[in-house]
Amino acid sequence: MCFSSFLKVSFIPSRGNFYIGWVRCLTVKYKELGRTGEKIPEIGMGSWQLGHGEGQVEALRAGLDAGCRFIDTAEIYQTEDVVGRAIKGKKDVFVATKVWPSNLHYDDVIRACDASLKRLGLKQVDLYQIHWPNKTIPIEETMAAMEKLVDDGKIRYIGLSNFSAKEMQEAQDTLKRNTVVSNQVEYSVLVRDVEKELLAACKKEHVTLIAYSPFGNGAFFEPRFAPFVEALTRIGAAHGKSASQVAIAWLLEKDPVVTIPKASSKEHVLENIEASGFKLTREELAAIDELCKKYKKSPLVPLHLGSLLKHTTFWHGSIAKRWMEGRGKKP
């Protein structure tokens, strides 16, 4: 990551005077999205469980202004409107959203996408992802709708989420005119299950792995992982970086990985972005790998449960919806 600053002069009407100050610009590194030739920021901003207040909009806008021009949302998160407010008037933002597995019949995909575009205030979304596989609906039918959305200019790229290597291949095989560009899955220093198979499959097929929950959905900051965080703090100190930045930099060492931490405050957003371009040494990476053996957590949706759920209509039900919506989280 590079730093640059520029002088900002703004008029503050309430005070009737001018404010002159230096604004720090962070340059986030980019990685190629799939084999599209297009590059996206290696750090984006997640929005699950993000509140709806002005503070959250400001946090996202601060990230965009600092060069982190990639935001992830989903119809189920109920944050597309917040993202819409944050990106209003901003150019060149890469917006990713997702269709929920209960909406994977052809007409439902089209309807869901139209509704997402409306909430986001966009005519076209950059990346449209299938949030979870739903084996009760043929993947051919869903992917045909995704291709129709590309043809109609409503989405630019087709992505997946929570697909295994085999499911990813099956989805790709049904596509006629497009390729799958990404698969968004849980990956962090605490949850490394994708390393068994999916990471290698993504690399081989040139599918970008979008690592979600890089802080284990906040578990990284819980007291049980305090010794782990202390160890990463010591590693980061040599580079002037925090434990959170070490956790992100460790992920970004993996290819083809980009990540989307969720942060509700401007401070957290900027801290996360500043992990871009920071290189851990080979010895530090090995030390972190050793620590990871001791500090692990269960995935948000454990593999066997996930496989079971993909074959049922669970995701259509209210328990799943309430969980994903993160109800009770206030701004």
Where does this chain bind ligand NAP (CB under 6 A)? 46-49, 72, 131, 161-162, 184, 212-218, 221, 244, 260-265, 268, 271-272, 300
Q: Nearer to ligand NAP by C-beta: 56 or 172?
A: 56
Q: Nearer to ligand NAP by C-beta: 265 or 313?
A: 265
Catalytic status, residue 187: no
Tell me how far, at minimum, the Cβ of 212 lies from ligand NAP, in Å.
3
Separation of alpha carbons 48 and 53, rounded Å: 14
Please check whether residue 43 is in contact with residue 248, taking contact to mean a CB–CB distance below 8 angstroms: yes
Q: Nearer to ligand NAP by C-beta: 74 or 137?
A: 74
Q: Nearer to ligand NAP by C-beta: 177 or 301?
A: 301
- Per 3-state DSSP, the chain is made up of helix, strand and coil in percentages (nearest 5) of 45, 20, 35
Please check whether residue 294 is in contact with residue 87, taking contact to mean a CB–CB distance below 8 angstroms: no
Tell me how far, at minimum, the Cβ of 76 lies from ligand NAP, in Å.
9
Helix 266-273 with 54-65: angle, nearest 10 deg = 30
Indicate which residue of 19, 30, 77, 187 is catalytic.
77
Q: Nearer to ligand NAP by C-beta: 265 or 281?
A: 265
- Find the residue with minimal CB distance to ligand NAP: 46
Q: Nearer to ligand NAP by C-beta: 54 or 151?
A: 54
Separation of alpha carbons 160 and 82, rounded Å: 23
Q: Is 71 exposed, middle or buried (0-12, 13-18, 19+ CB in 10 A)?
A: buried
Separation of alpha carbons 27 and 30, rounded Å: 9
**Encoded tokens for 224:** 């049980």
Tell me how far, at minimum, the Cβ of 197 lies from ligand NAP, in Å.
18
Separation of alpha carbons 266 and 158, rounded Å: 30
Tell me how far, at minimum, the Cβ of 115 lies from ligand NAP, in Å.
18
Separation of alpha carbons 269 and 252, rounded Å: 17
**Encoded tokens for 269:** 């957003």
Cα distances from 14 to residues 7, 11, 76, 219, 224, in angstroms, run: 21, 9, 39, 42, 47
Tell me how far, at minimum, the Cβ of 201 lies from ligand NAP, in Å.
17
Tell me how far, at minimum, the Cβ of 40 lies from ligand NAP, in Å.
14
Buried (b) or exposed (e) across 9-22, using 16+ Cβ within 10 A? Answer: eeeeeeeeeeeeee
Q: Parallel, antiparallel, or unpaired: how do β-strands 125-130 and 155-161 relate? A: parallel
Q: Which residue intervals of the chain are DSSP H helices?
A: 54-65, 80-87, 106-120, 139-151, 165-174, 198-205, 226-237, 243-252, 266-273, 282-294, 303-310, 318-325
Tell me how far, at minimum, the Cβ of 300 lies from ligand NAP, in Å.
6
Q: Nearer to ligand NAP by C-beta: 176 or 230?
A: 230
Residues classed as catalytic:
77
